[in-house]
Chains A and B, each alone.
Chain A
């Protein structure tokens, strides 16, 4: 019996249909089958946040979600956060301005989770931002600039 399943997912606005192993995580489906490589594989256990993507607007760890479970859904990865003309979103611009990416491995997940955080529309203090990022690990330990970047976007939107 074939264990392949056909899955259709709208990734960053593009509808993709692929037939692949039903055991594949959304992360592997995106990277290996659909060629969308901005989500990274860090821990494989849903802890580090490097693989974070939005599924129907909410952040999930794509390494511990099966692609087949997202069939018919909408996925946004870090590259899908860009403006329609391809320019950086205010958050991406802030990460750039404040040097919030060091090696860059955690950055796609940081951007995705921070986008969801900012969508809550509640002004967060720096400690609250840091706490809200507890599920995103930066092995360079560059949390300071990341928090600063997220905070600067809040300030911009509340000015």
Chain B
């Protein structure tokens, strides 16, 4: 459980970090909070030659409103997401999801950008970012581009990030009036990875659901946005949510030591309905 030797280098800026990544190639890994990387290094799953520390760069910080959006710097810790009054008011799904991550110690160190770049299929933050249609800003040091959260992950622990790119920020829409939210997760132990997690947003008016956003984590190699279910929900009353969700298509739950694929499929429906119903109730409270 002890790491092999590697070289530690501290980047002075994100541009500096990207240069180092280009110089060292495949053997280089980025570290910010280290809460995903170092457990993998300690158990020997990852054996970097060089670790580039971006935790002290001046960029990728801050959490501020910007014209109907909130821009969240990638170096915000989970604790900062959880306790941000701005997020609690403007996009409460994110603090709710962050509170499910690991334990207090993980949340004190782990960062938004780290969670997104690590891209665990059961990770809470990639899931909520998918549900709320976030955009990620990524940079190679000289040019930046935007990537849709939904398209960021390409496979298990694999993203669209090029080897010399890092995540700078996530841009998330402010939750509008009349919207309710919910984050539901089932894990074997508190703080463990989710077996399945669901994130939902619902807007209701006049006793019926107007529109919904729904994403599931832990049911495929990356979070899945369920557009067909969202479409089927338009116009539903509260009691009709369960029947309209129906059998969830488009997911490929795997079996592992935590749960069978069949049980994950069962949980997907249970948690999706539970999250949609809670989001609906909250949407009526704020109406």
Q: Which residues on A are within 8 Å of B, measured CB to CB?
A: 1, 3, 5, 21-25, 28, 41, 43-47, 49, 52, 55, 58-61, 63-66, 68-69, 113, 116, 131-132, 134-135
Contact = CB atoms under 8 A, between A and B. Distances in A.
A143 to B, nearest CB: 14
Given A23-B51, A59-B108, A135-B104, A44 B7 contact: no
Given A3-B6, A49-B103, A66-B51, 14 more contacts: A1-B7, A22-B8, A23-B6, A46-B102, A60-B108, A60-B109, A64-B42, A64-B109, A65-B34, A69-B31, A69-B34, A69-B53, A69-B55, A113-B104
Nearest to A71: B10
A66 B55 CA distance: 11
Q: Kindly name the residue among B31, B34, B104, B105 whose own CB sees the greatest number of chain A CB atoms within 10 A.
A: B105
Closest 10 CB pairs of A and B: A22-B8, A135-B103, A44-B1, A64-B38, A45-B39, A44-B42, A134-B190, A3-B7, A58-B108, A23-B6
A39 to B, nearest CB: 12
Contacts of A45: 1, 39, 42-43
A63 B106 CA distance: 11
B211 to A, nearest CB: 35
A65 B38 contact: yes
Interface string B168-194: 000000000000000000000111000
Given A65-B34, A66-B34, A69-B34, A135 B105 contact: yes
B2 A134 contact: no
13 contacts: A3-B7, A23-B5, A23-B6, A44-B2, A59-B105, A59-B108, A63-B42, A64-B42, A65-B109, A66-B51, A113-B104, A134-B103, A134-B190
A66 B190 contact: no
Given A45-B39, A60-B109, A134-B190, A66 B8 contact: yes
B252 interface: no
B88 interface: no
Contacts of A66: 8, 31, 34, 38, 51, 53
B3 interface: yes
Given A68-B8, A134-B191, A46 B39 contact: yes
A59 B8 CA distance: 23
A5 B6 CA distance: 11
Given A45-B39, A45-B43, A64 B189 contact: no
B4 interface: yes
Interface in B69-107: 79, 102-106
